[in-house]
Structure 1
Amino acid sequence: MTTAFDSLDDYIALPRVEALALSPDGRHAVLTVATLNAKKTGYDRALWRIAADGSPGAVRLTRSAKGESAASFTASGDVLFVSARPDGEAGENDPAQLWQLPADGGEARRVTALAGGISGAVAAAASDRLVIAAGLLPSACTLEEDARLRADRTKHKVAAILHDGYPIRYWDHDLGPDEPHLLALDVRGLADPVGSPAAPDAEKDDDEDAAKPYPAHLPRPVDLTPRPGRSADTEGVAISPDGATVVAALKVPRGADVRLRIVAIDVASGRHTPVFDDPAADAEMPVVSNDGRTIAFVRAALQNAAAPSQQELWVAGIDGSDPHRIAADWDRWPSSVAFDLDDTALIVTADQDGRGPVFRIPLDDSGVQQLTADDFTYSNVRVDRTSGELVALRASWMTPLHPVRIDRNGTVIELATPAPIPEVPARMTDVETTAADGARVRGWLLLPQDAAADAPAPLLLWIHGGPLNSWNAWSWRWNPQLAVARGYAVLLPDPALSTGYGLDFIARGWNAWGAAPYTDLMSITDAVVARDDIDETRTAAMGGSFGGYMANWVAGHTDRFRAIVTHASLWALDQFGPTTDFTPYWQSIFTPEAMAEHSPHRHLANITSPMLVVHGDRDYRVPVGEGLRLWSELNAQFAAEDGSMPHRFLYFPDENHWVLKPQHAVVWYETVFAFLAQHVLGEEWQKPKRLG
Structure 2
Amino acid sequence: MLPSRSRCPFASVGLLALVTALLAPAPTVEAGEKRAFTIEDLYRVVYVPEFALSPDGRWIAYVKRERDLPRGKQYEDIWLLPASGGEPRRLTHSPERSESSLAWSPDGRFLAFVAEKEEKDQIWLLPMEGGEPYTVTDIATGAEDLLFSPDGRSIAFTSEVYPECGADDACNREIDEKREKGPLKAHVADRLFYRHWTRWWDGKVPHVLVLDLETRQVRDLTPERSGPPQFYLWSPRSYAFSPDGRRFAFQQNPGPPEELAWSTNDDLFVVPLSGDAPARDITADNPAYDGTPRFSPDGSLIAYRRQRQPGYESDEYELAVRAVDGGEERILTAHFDNWVDDFAWFPDGEALLFLAEEHGATPLYRVPLNGGPLEKIVEHATIDSFAIAPDGKTVYAVRRAIAEPPEIWAYDLTGGSPRRLTFHNAKLEREVDIRPAERLWLPGAGDYQVECFLIKPHDFDPSRKYPLILNVHGGPQSQWADAFRGDWQVYPGAGYIVAFPNPTGSTGYGQAFTAAISRDWGGRVYRDVMRVADSLEKLPYVDKDRMGAMGWSYGGYMMNWLLGHTTRFKAIATMMGLFDLRSFYGATEELWFPEWDLGGRPWDSPLYERFNPARFADRMQTPTLVITGELDYRVPYTQGLQLFTALQRRGVPSRLIVFPEAGHWPGWYEMALYYTAHLDWFHRWLGGGGPPWSVEDFAANRVFDTETGKRIDRAGSEEAPPSER
Measured in 2, the distance between the counterparts of 1:138 and 1:391 equals 39
1:211 aligned residue: none
1:80 aligned residue: 112
| Deviation at residue 677 of structure 1 after TM alignment | 0.6
2:635 aligned residue: 622
2:102 aligned residue: 71
| Deviation at residue 603 of structure 1 after TM alignment | 1.7
| Contact 2:474–2:551, Cα closer than 8 Å, also in 1 | yes
1:319 aligned residue: 325
Structure 1, 448-457 or 561-570: larger mean CA deviation: 448-457
1:681 aligned residue: 687
Measured in 2, the distance between the counterparts of 1:495 and 1:48 equals 40
1:282 aligned residue: 289
1:368 aligned residue: 374
2:459 aligned residue: 450
For 1:423-572, list aligned pairs within 5 A: 423=429, 424-474=433-483, 476=485, 478-572=486-580
1:184 aligned residue: 210
Q: SS in structure 2 opposite 1:32? A: strand
Quick one: structure 1 residues 109 and 233, their matched pair in 2 at CA, closer, same or farther if it must change by over 3 Å?
farther
2:21 aligned residue: none
Is 1:333 matched up with 2:364?
A: no
| Contact 2:519–2:607, Cα closer than 8 Å, also in 1 | yes
Quick one: structure 1 residues 111 and 70, their matched pair in 2 at CA, closer, same or farther if it must change by over 3 Å?
same
- Aligned residue identity for 1:83: A
- Aligned residue identity for 1:626: Q
Measured in 2, the distance between the counterparts of 1:601 and 1:134 equals 40
Structure 1, 490-499 or 64-73: larger mean CA deviation: 64-73
- Aligned residue identity for 1:397: I
Measured in 2, the distance between the counterparts of 1:341 and 1:458 equals 52
| Contact 1:340–1:383, Cα closer than 8 Å, also in 2 | yes
- Aligned residue identity for 2:218: P
- Aligned residue identity for 1:489: I
| Deviation at residue 165 of structure 1 after TM alignment | 3.4
Q: SS in structure 2 opposite 1:587? A: helix
Quick one: structure 1 residues 680 and 98, their matched pair in 2 at CA, closer, same or farther if it must change by over 3 Å?
same
Structure 1, 176-185 or 537-546: larger mean CA deviation: 176-185
Quick one: structure 1 residues 2 and 131, their matched pair in 2 at CA, closer, same or farther if it must change by over 3 Å?
farther
Measured in 2, the distance between the counterparts of 1:536 and 1:39 equals 37
| Deviation at residue 247 of structure 1 after TM alignment | 1.1
| Deviation at residue 4 of structure 1 after TM alignment | 8.1
Measured in 1, the distance between the counterparts of 2:369 and 2:284 equals 21
| Deviation at residue 111 of structure 1 after TM alignment | 1.6
| Deviation at residue 465 of structure 1 after TM alignment | 0.9
| Deviation at residue 682 of structure 1 after TM alignment | 7.6
User: How high is the TM-score relative to the length of structure 2?
Assistant: 0.84
Quick one: structure 1 residues 2 and 267, their matched pair in 2 at CA, closer, same or farther if it must change by over 3 Å?
farther
Quick one: structure 1 residues 278 and 39, their matched pair in 2 at CA, closer, same or farther if it must change by over 3 Å?
farther
Quick one: structure 1 residues 383 and 550, their matched pair in 2 at CA, closer, same or farther if it must change by over 3 Å?
same
Measured in 1, the distance between the counterparts of 2:140 and 2:426 equals 38
2:43 aligned residue: 12
Measured in 2, the distance between the counterparts of 1:542 and 1:27 equals 45
Quick one: structure 1 residues 105 and 5, their matched pair in 2 at CA, closer, same or farther if it must change by over 3 Å?
farther
Is 1:169 matched up with 2:195?
A: yes
| Contact 1:225–1:232, Cα closer than 8 Å, also in 2 | no
Measured in 1, the distance between the counterparts of 2:570 and 2:170 equals 61
Q: SS in structure 1 opposite 2:437? A: strand
| Contact 1:332–1:352, Cα closer than 8 Å, also in 2 | yes
Structure 1, 242-251 or 153-162: larger mean CA deviation: 153-162
Q: Deviations over 1:62-96 (max 9, x none)?
A: 122212111121101121100014xxxxxxx3411
Q: SS in structure 2 opposite 1:542? A: strand
Q: SS in structure 2 opposite 1:605? A: helix
Is 1:393 matched up with 2:419?
A: no
1:116 aligned residue: 141
| Deviation at residue 97 of structure 1 after TM alignment | 0.6
| Deviation at residue 2 of structure 1 after TM alignment | 7.2
Q: Deviations over 1:207-229 (max 9, x none)?
A: xxxxxxxxxxx521121112421
Quick one: structure 1 residues 308 and 480, their matched pair in 2 at CA, closer, same or farther if it must change by over 3 Å?
closer
| Contact 1:263–1:274, Cα closer than 8 Å, also in 2 | yes
Identify which of 41, 46, 53 aligns with 2:72.
41
For 1:295-306, list aligned pairs within 5 A: 295-303=302-310
| Deviation at residue 661 of structure 1 after TM alignment | 4.1
Identify which of 47, 53, 60 aligns with 1:22.
53
Q: SS in structure 1 opposite 2:505? A: coil
Measured in 1, the distance between the counterparts of 2:455 and 2:220 equals 51
| Deviation at residue 149 of structure 1 after TM alignment | 3.2
- Aligned residue identity for 2:266: L
- Aligned residue identity for 1:226: P
- Aligned residue identity for 2:189: H
Quick one: structure 1 residues 154 and 678, their matched pair in 2 at CA, closer, same or farther if it must change by over 3 Å?
closer
Q: SS in structure 2 opposite 1:131? A: strand
2:713 aligned residue: none
Structure 2 regions of 5+ residues with no counterpart? 1-31, 600-604, 701-725
| Contact 2:346–2:392, Cα closer than 8 Å, also in 1 | no
| Contact 1:264–1:319, Cα closer than 8 Å, also in 2 | no
Measured in 2, the distance between the counterparts of 1:4 and 1:131 equals 48
| Deviation at residue 18 of structure 1 after TM alignment | 1.1
1:215 aligned residue: none
| Contact 2:363–2:378, Cα closer than 8 Å, also in 1 | yes
| Contact 1:441–1:494, Cα closer than 8 Å, also in 2 | yes
| Deviation at residue 507 of structure 1 after TM alignment | 2.4
| Deviation at residue 318 of structure 1 after TM alignment | 2.0
| Deviation at residue 687 of structure 1 after TM alignment | 4.9
Measured in 1, the distance between the counterparts of 2:523 and 2:92 equals 51
Identify which of 130, 151, 168 aligns with 2:155.
130
Quick one: structure 1 residues 184 and 654, their matched pair in 2 at CA, closer, same or farther if it must change by over 3 Å?
closer
- Aligned residue identity for 2:368: P
Measured in 2, the distance between the counterparts of 1:152 and 1:508 equals 50
Q: Deviations over 1:237-276 (max 9, x none)?
A: 1222233222111122255333200001211216301121
Quick one: structure 1 residues 107 and 320, their matched pair in 2 at CA, closer, same or farther if it must change by over 3 Å?
farther
- Aligned residue identity for 1:23: S
- Aligned residue identity for 1:654: E
Measured in 2, the distance between the counterparts of 1:428 and 1:684 equals 22
- Aligned residue identity for 1:63: H
| Deviation at residue 108 of structure 1 after TM alignment | 1.0
User: How high is the TM-score relative to the length of structure 1?
Assistant: 0.88
Measured in 1, the distance between the counterparts of 2:579 and 2:64 equals 37
| Deviation at residue 585 of structure 1 after TM alignment | 2.7
Measured in 2, the distance between the counterparts of 1:297 and 1:250 equals 13
| Deviation at residue 56 of structure 1 after TM alignment | 2.1
Is 1:658 matched up with 2:665?
A: yes
| Contact 1:129–1:243, Cα closer than 8 Å, also in 2 | no
- Aligned residue identity for 1:138: P
Structure 1, 280-289 or 163-172: larger mean CA deviation: 163-172
| Contact 1:5–1:11, Cα closer than 8 Å, also in 2 | no
- Aligned residue identity for 2:561: W
Measured in 2, the distance between the counterparts of 1:618 and 1:4 equals 37
Q: SS in structure 1 opposite 2:125? A: strand
Is 1:107 matched up with 2:132?
A: yes
1:147 aligned residue: 173
| Deviation at residue 30 of structure 1 after TM alignment | 1.3
| Deviation at residue 122 of structure 1 after TM alignment | 1.6
| Deviation at residue 690 of structure 1 after TM alignment | 3.0
- Aligned residue identity for 1:82: V
2:608 aligned residue: 595
- Aligned residue identity for 1:184: V
Measured in 2, the distance between the counterparts of 1:175 and 1:4 equals 48
Q: How many residues align?
A: 645
| Deviation at residue 279 of structure 1 after TM alignment | 5.1
| Contact 1:371–1:409, Cα closer than 8 Å, also in 2 | no
Measured in 1, the distance between the counterparts of 2:427 and 2:410 equals 16
| Deviation at residue 304 of structure 1 after TM alignment | 5.6
Measured in 1, the distance between the counterparts of 2:376 and 2:690 equals 51
| Deviation at residue 648 of structure 1 after TM alignment | 1.4
Q: Deviations over 1:566-611 (max 9, x none)?
A: 0000011233112012223311332222232111112222223211
For 1:352-367, list aligned pairs within 5 A: 352-367=358-373
2:24 aligned residue: none
Measured in 2, the distance between the counterparts of 1:2 and 1:110 equals 49
Question: Aligned-residue CA RMSD in angstroms?
Answer: 2.4
| Deviation at residue 428 of structure 1 after TM alignment | 1.4
